[in-house]
Amino acid sequence: MKIYLHQTHHNVADFESIFSYLKDQFSSQKEKRPGIHIFPELFLTGYPLQDLCLTSSFIASYLEFQDKINIWAQEELSQNYGTDEVCLLMGGLNYHFCASDVPLKDEVVDHIKNVIFQLVPGQKLNAIYTKQLLPNYDIFDEQKYYKAGTQSQILDWNGISLGLLICEDMWASNVHAIDPCLDLYNYAVTEKKELHALINLSGSPYNLFKREQRVSRAKELSELFQVPFIYVNRVGGEDEILFDGSSVVVAQKDILCTGKFFEADLLEFELDPQKKVLLTEAREKERAQKNTWEGLFSPLVTGIGEEAGLPRLKVIDRKLGQEIVRALSFGLQEYAQKSGFKKFLVALSGGMDSALVLAITRLSLQEGQELEAVYMPGMFSRSISFELSDQICKKLGVKLYSLPIKFLHTNCRNLFGQVFGEKMEGLCDENIQSRLRGALIYGRSNQTGAMVINTSNKSELAVGYSTQYGDSVGAISMLGDLYKTEVYQLANILNELYPGIIPEEIITRPASAELREDQKDEDSLPPYERLDVILECLLSYRYNRQDILKMGFSEEEVNRVINLYRRSEYKRAQFSPIIKIKSKSFGFGYRIPLSKNGKFY
């Protein structure tokens, strides 16, 4: 029996394009592909929908779309395929309504289920399984919207038996009350059902090491059930969240096939109807030992508890670096295309972050797109900053404009002196430069319709080392999930892959905001290699002040970092969406009260 894995890429709620895809895949013009066709979780709606799934406009459109699919299955699809020829298994939402007390509208949503719909020619969408483990941590709010299923299911179709799972269902954990995999196992035993394979329809967000973790867990489950594990994931970038595809079929310890990374794909493989397994011995729920849910959220730090030296961030090697560049490019392009941008705009400072943003944006550029850079020197900018900005733009073939702010800055100083009788100095004088730059780059954006890409990194964001409405502006943040030391690593990897793409001096010169004479980051902050580790430990929520001190960091440094971190929640609250590539990032999944609660850690 042929199994097809449709690793699809559609915008959220783009019913037209989803319907076109379906019609095209099974049209009479196309070579017939009998068998079982598996689509991702929530293929019919897109994901995440957030509150969209509660709005009457969305619901009405979606119900209409479901009707269309049913008519299509009964007419066109059944003209092209016999009832026993194809079986479509598609993720979607299943709405249940109740009459409402509210006199304004007749019906309100009673509950919504995240289900697998089965569709065969001549019939209608039939919900055969409801997701049981609804993630509700970090970026996930599924229990806010969906009602969990409580019943394991095995689909029998044309002599093939498939155990059904949706995304999170596959993960074991100490913190989950249920284990849908083990329940499915025992259900197969109790019902004396044979199994040919397990399938998992997923909408699983990308982060570093996630692919490896999914495959490890898939192998574990394939070994447990003694049948192949078929994993179908979606592709897409939804604001900050990326879906990488990377669908995979695993049999015991072997990977049979793998879907593309951040690209739509269609995989197929042959499932032998003779190779079926009858599980006979029920299993007790036992404490998960490896490939656990908790493991997905460990801080990316190594060397904790080791005798020699301080812990350090996990190193980004060349392979991982390439993966990150691909993810960031994809996230940028998705946001731009969905928002209708064809032009990009980057403010260069002559420093590391903006250079890396420029390089990655340039590498991601598609036909018909344009990229422009602006250098906005102030009175403390060193001439080398312009030279380096000019060098990288020449290297990348990007048009560079120099838009000096010195005169505006001086005007502001004079204005403040006259009006307030107080000299503009200190933080005020530093920030005004950054905010003038913010105003100017958005002026240019208004002029050309270009999308401004934010250039802040995760270290700056964490300690508030940026100017609100100044260098923190942007439609989306490319590096907001990478610590400064990782930014450097990534720049070096890019230079290995594309020799000389980033001028070496940008990488080696000391980091500086150039907002006052001879300013250097390290005058205000601990060295980044220590800062970044402390931050990663704090952000995981698992470490407090005492834990970090025990690692060997100095009390003065730890206190300084914690204070900076706690005091800058308000800046992060108004920050742009950040392309998420880590399990713990700032953004939607990070929810800490803004008002000071400085006594902790």
Positions in 534-573 near a second copy (CB under 8 A): 541-547, 570, 573
443 binds a second copy (CB under 8 A): yes
- Nearer to a second copy by Cβ, of 16 and 254: the residue is 16
- Nearer to a second copy by Cβ, of 394 and 423: the residue is 423
- Nearer to a second copy by Cβ, of 435 and 458: the residue is 435
76 binds a second copy (CB under 8 A): no
Q: Site residues for a second copy, window 383-442 (CB under 8 A)?
A: 401-404, 407-408, 411-412, 415-416, 419-420, 422, 424, 426-428, 431-432, 435-436, 438-440, 442
CB of 497 to a second copy, least distance (A): 30
CB of 50 to a second copy, least distance (A): 4
55-80: burial string, b at 16+ Cβ within 10 Å, e else: eeebbeebeebbeebeebbeebbbeb
Place of tokens 């379906």: 22
- Nearer to a second copy by Cβ, of 339 and 366: the residue is 339
Query: Cα–Cα distance between 259 and 255 in angstroms, integer?
Result: 11
Q: Site residues for a second copy, window 322-351 (CB under 8 A)?
A: 334-335, 338-340
- Nearer to a second copy by Cβ, of 76 and 390: the residue is 390
Which of 186, 262, 251 minimizes the C-alpha distance to 218? 251
CB of 481 to a second copy, least distance (A): 17
- Nearer to a second copy by Cβ, of 338 and 560: the residue is 338
CB of 371 to a second copy, least distance (A): 16
Which of 201, 249, 206 minimizes the C-alpha distance to 92? 201
- Nearer to a second copy by Cβ, of 118 and 291: the residue is 291
- Give the CA distances from residue 181 to residues 114, 156, 171, 283, in Å, rounded to whole numbers and listed in that order: 17, 18, 8, 11
The site string for a second copy over 136-175 (x = CB under 8 A, - otherwise) reads: xx---x-xx-----------------------------xx
- Rounded to a whole number of angstroms, the distance between the first and last alpha carbons of the chain is 57
CB of 458 to a second copy, least distance (A): 17
Select from 36-44, 151-159, 180-188, 466-474 the region that touches a second copy (CB under 8 A). 466-474
**Phi first, then psi: what are they for 128, rounded to 5°?**
-110, -10
CB of 61 to a second copy, least distance (A): 6
- Give the CA distances from residue 153 to residues 175, 319, 435, 552, in Å, rounded to whole numbers and listed in that order: 23, 39, 58, 51
The site string for a second copy over 473-492 (x = CB under 8 A, - otherwise) reads: x-x-----------------
Report the residue from 444, 509, 516, 560 that binds a second copy according to the rule CB under 8 A: 444
**Phi first, then psi: what are they for 244, rounded to 5°?**
-100, 0
Residue 448 tokens read as 């050309």
Q: Site residues for a second copy, window 175-194 (CB under 8 A)?
A: 175
Cβ neighbours of residue 585 closer than 8 Å, sequence gap 6 or more: 240, 458, 480, 481, 578
Query: Cα–Cα distance between 249 and 229 in angstroms, integer?
Result: 6
Q: How many residues bind a second copy (CB under 8 A)?
A: 110
- Cα 278 to its chain centre, rounded Å, is 38
Place of tokens 């990229």: 371
Element (H, E) at 399: strand 399-402
CB of 390 to a second copy, least distance (A): 15
Name all contacts of 179-186 with Cβ < 8 Å and 24+ positions apart. 179/285, 180/132, 180/133, 180/152, 181/221, 181/224, 182/283, 182/285, 183/132, 183/152, 184/152, 184/153, 184/154, 185/224, 185/225, 185/279, 185/282, 185/283, 186/152, 186/282, 186/283
- Nearer to a second copy by Cβ, of 119 and 170: the residue is 170
DSSP string, 369-387: -EEEEEE---TT--HHHHH
302 binds a second copy (CB under 8 A): no
Query: Cα–Cα distance between 458 and 438 in angstroms, integer?
Result: 19
CB of 154 to a second copy, least distance (A): 27
Which of 345, 358, 433 minimizes the C-alpha distance to 389? 358
- Nearer to a second copy by Cβ, of 94 and 118: the residue is 94
Query: Cα–Cα distance between 231 and 221 in angstroms, integer?
Result: 12
- Nearer to a second copy by Cβ, of 253 and 591: the residue is 591
Query: Cα–Cα distance between 414 and 578 in angstroms, integer?
Result: 37
The site string for a second copy over 235-274 (x = CB under 8 A, - otherwise) reads: ---xx-----------------------------------
The site string for a second copy over 279-298 (x = CB under 8 A, - otherwise) reads: --------xxxx-x-xx--x
Residue 253 exposure: Cα atoms within 13 Å on the Cβ side: 0
Report the residue from 19, 261, 498, 590 that binds a second copy according to the rule CB under 8 A: 590
447 binds a second copy (CB under 8 A): yes
Report the residue from 212, 284, 307, 600 that binds a second copy according to the rule CB under 8 A: 600
How many CB atoms within 10 Å of residue 331? 28
- Nearer to a second copy by Cβ, of 221 and 267: the residue is 221
CB of 108 to a second copy, least distance (A): 6
- Nearer to a second copy by Cβ, of 309 and 420: the residue is 420
For the packed helices 383-396 and 352-364, what is the interaxial angle rounded to 10 degrees? 10
Query: Cα–Cα distance between 553 and 533 in angstroms, integer?
Result: 10
Q: Site residues for a second copy, window 17-56 (CB under 8 A)?
A: 48-52, 54-56
Per the CB < 8 A criterion, the answer to whether 408 and 436 are in contact is yes
For the packed helices 318-339 and 484-497, what is the interaxial angle rounded to 10 degrees? 100
Select from 81-89, 96-104, 344-352, 511-519 the region that touches a second copy (CB under 8 A). 96-104
307 binds a second copy (CB under 8 A): no
CB of 91 to a second copy, least distance (A): 18
- Nearer to a second copy by Cβ, of 340 and 397: the residue is 340
CB of 404 to a second copy, least distance (A): 8
CB of 464 to a second copy, least distance (A): 13
Q: Site residues for a second copy, window 105-134 (CB under 8 A)?
A: 105, 108-111
One-letter amino acid for residue 451 of the chain:
M
